[in-house]
Amino acid sequence: MREIVATSAMRMLTELLEQKTGQVLSESRLWRLETALGPVMRARAIHSLEALGEAVQADASGGLATHVVDALLNNETSFFRDAHIFAMIGNALIPEAIARTQAQGREPTLRIWCAGCSTGQEAWSLAMLFENGRARWPDWRLEILATDISHSAIARAQSGIVPQIEAQRGLPVSEMLRWMEPEGDDWRIGPALRGKVDFRRDNLIDPKVPSGYYDLILCRNVLLYFTPERKRDLFSVLARHSAPGGWLLLGAGETTIDLTTDFAACPDHRGAYRRVDPA
């Protein structure tokens, strides 16, 4: 691929992204700038990245900067992404978390935090998984907090609207019909699941929304483009909110190695990391 030499406008826009979100857009991924920012520029009749950089600096409200950052975030997601991970959650992690919670004499509620939930598919998949297994845990409640920094992604998640093309990604038709209802050409999460996920906008580099401890934290495909320092800080945040014995799930290309001792890979559950007992 042709190497792109960063202009001062490119540097300014990538610094804005990193400062607001922790996401680093390296030189080899600079090509994303023009593609991702095209719609923002077209909507404002801005014809170059230089002009966009100047407009961001001139906009005291910060509104344009927010649109630019949103456009540069990678919101790639799908229902039941990495299906084996969801099978492990349903077959092993939820039953073990229930047994642990019972042994601790806590009320029959499990808490999950989806950190970096994009447009909601990951959190809805967890809600579907839990309801599909309802016969195995009839008296249990599941609280799902799902957070993301992207204004547009969280607005979409909160609306419950799923475009047709995204609904088909990862969901068999029978599940689409079971959990969603048609909405024009698209779909909407149906009443059986609506209200089961609390979607909130929040920044993982300065989180305000999570509270207390979560039995399971999913932070998948979020820290790939964080610097090692940011990853370390994020693992401290996740450890602070992880229940004793709780799990962390990362994306396929992500690891805790050399970054934290708060979580350790679980030999029994490939892909899961267990909160190490602080004592």
Ligand X SMILES: C[S@@+](CC[C@H](N)C(=O)[O-])C[C@H]1O[C@@H](n2cnc3c(N)ncnc32)[C@H](O)[C@@H]1O
Site string for ligand X, 25-64 (x = CB under 6 A): ----------------------------------------
Least distance to ligand X, CB of residue 43, Å: 20
Contacts (CB under 6 A) with ligand X, residues 177-216: 203-205
End-to-end CA distance of the chain, in Å? 50
Q: Which amino acid, residue 125? A: S
79, 160, 179, 221: which one binds ligand X (CB under 6 A): 221
Distance CA 224, CA 222 (A): 6
Least distance to ligand X, CB of residue 108, Å: 27
For residues 77 and 122, is the Cβ–Cβ distance under 8 A?
yes
Of residues 81 and 111, the one with the C-beta less far from ligand X: 81
Q: Which amino acid, residue 3? A: E
**Which pair of structure tokens corresponds to residue 157?**
């998640």
Cα 156 versus chain centre, distance: 13
Least distance to ligand X, CB of residue 102, Å: 29
Q: Does 111 contact ligand X by CB under 6 A?
A: no
Look at residue 114 and give its three-state secondary structure. Answer: strand
Least distance to ligand X, CB of residue 54, Å: 25
Contacts (CB under 6 A) with ligand X, residues 148-177: 148-150, 153
For residues 84 and 97, is the Cβ–Cβ distance under 8 A?
no
Cα 133 versus chain centre, distance: 23
- Which residues of this protein are in contact with ligand X, per CB under 6 A? 21-23, 73-77, 81, 116-118, 122, 148-150, 153, 203-205, 220-222, 251
